[in-house]
């Protein structure tokens, strides 16, 4: 499937009353200091892992129009057990063309070109790679590269995968708070540089040195990455998010990948491109380049 055939949605789509209260009112922003803490997220997560939380599943499926025929049929022990459900074999298949760049997850995708000073802009907020990675040397390596942001929403599949064969160079966890990753928060806060996040630096066979980062969100304190060996294969499951929507950020070096122009155009028009895990979103750049760890 070509990116021009993907569905798109307006980035500034309507938020629920509670989220608008938290981010658009003075009393809400006071309460926000409590709700964005990891402690509140942990308490909320304990409830979502309890047996009583199963009562929420049916309404959630209906409200978010989730096609349960795609998923393994089982009895769920809790809402979180349901939320991290697995797809059936054959769903979320990766392209067999190995030069294709696949999406690592379901999500609403925007694409940004990173400037020579390692900065990029989202909804009027300027981000620097150093603030995102908290590693100035690593940030410098991705100047003039590409940043992809996959915003997962409650209707998405919340497991994510590796996009290529490769090996792990390093991993890092950054403690932070837990804003929502909805567009309403991006207008006021540098969410991706403030939220709890984990990232892995990888050397991949076809796309060179990349960064894959998982970002926690409001009521989503738990990023569950699997224990891994030093190497991985394209399509291997990397981990999952527990309840809520969240985000995966991917960084590519200059001249490493060619992102489909339609995705850039959608981003410019303030629209997100709706993708599924394994969808082709670009390809390996044909420009010759040597890769270094």
Catalytic residue among 81, 106, 156, 164: 106
Catalytic residue among 53, 118, 246, 285: 246
Active site residue 246: yes
DSSP codes of every residue in 172-195 = EEE--B----SHHHHTTS-HHHHB
pLDDT tens across 82-105, in order? 999 999 988 999 988 999 999 999
Active site residue 261: no
Closest CA to 206 of 229, 228, 234, 230: 234
Average pLDDT across the chain, whole number:
82
pLDDT tens across 277-289, in order? 999 999 998 764 4
pLDDT tens across 23-71, in order? 556 565 555 555 556 666 677 778 888 999 999 999 999 998 999 999 9
Domain-by-domain residue ranges, the chain? 1-288
* Total residue count of the chain as it appears in this document: 293
Residue 194, pLDDT > 80, answer: no
């Amino acid at each position: 499937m070509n990116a021009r055939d993907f569905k798109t949605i307006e980035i500034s789509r309507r938020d629920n009353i509670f989220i608008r209260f938290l981010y658009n009112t003075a009393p809400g922003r006071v309460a926000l200091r409590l709700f964005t803490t990891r402690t509140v997220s942990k308490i909320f997560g304990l409830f979502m892992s309890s047996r009583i939380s199963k009562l929420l599943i049916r309404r959630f499926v209906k409200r978010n129009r989730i096609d349960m025929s795609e998923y393994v049929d089982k009895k769920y022990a809790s809402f979180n057990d349901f939320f991290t459900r697995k797809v059936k074999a054959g769903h979320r298949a990766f392209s067999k063309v190995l030069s294709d760049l696949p999406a690592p997850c379901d999500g609403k995708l925007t694409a940004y070109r990173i400037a020579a000073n390692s900065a990029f802009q989202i909804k009027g907020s300027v981000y620097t790679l150093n603030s995102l990675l908290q590693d100035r040397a690593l940030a410098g390596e991705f100047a003039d590269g590409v940043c992809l942001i996959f915003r997962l929403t409650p209707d998405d599949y919340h497991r994510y995968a590796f996009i290529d064969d490769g090996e792990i160079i390093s991993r890092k966890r950054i403690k932070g708070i837990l804003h929502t990753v909805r567009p309403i928060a991006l207008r006021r806060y540098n969410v991706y540089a403030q939220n709890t996040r984990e990232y892995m630096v990888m050397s991949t066979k076809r796309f060179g040195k990349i960064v894959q980062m998982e970002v926690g969100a409001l009521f989503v304190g738990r990023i569950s990455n699997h224990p891994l060996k030093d190497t991985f294969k394209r399509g291997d499951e990397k981990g999952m998010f527990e309840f809520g929507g969240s985000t995966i950020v991917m960084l590519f070096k200059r001249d490493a990948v060619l992102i489909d122009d339609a995705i850039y155009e959608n981003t410019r028009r303030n629209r997100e491109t709706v993708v599924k895990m394994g969808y082709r979103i670009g390809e390996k750049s044909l420009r010759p380049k040597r890769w270094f760890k």
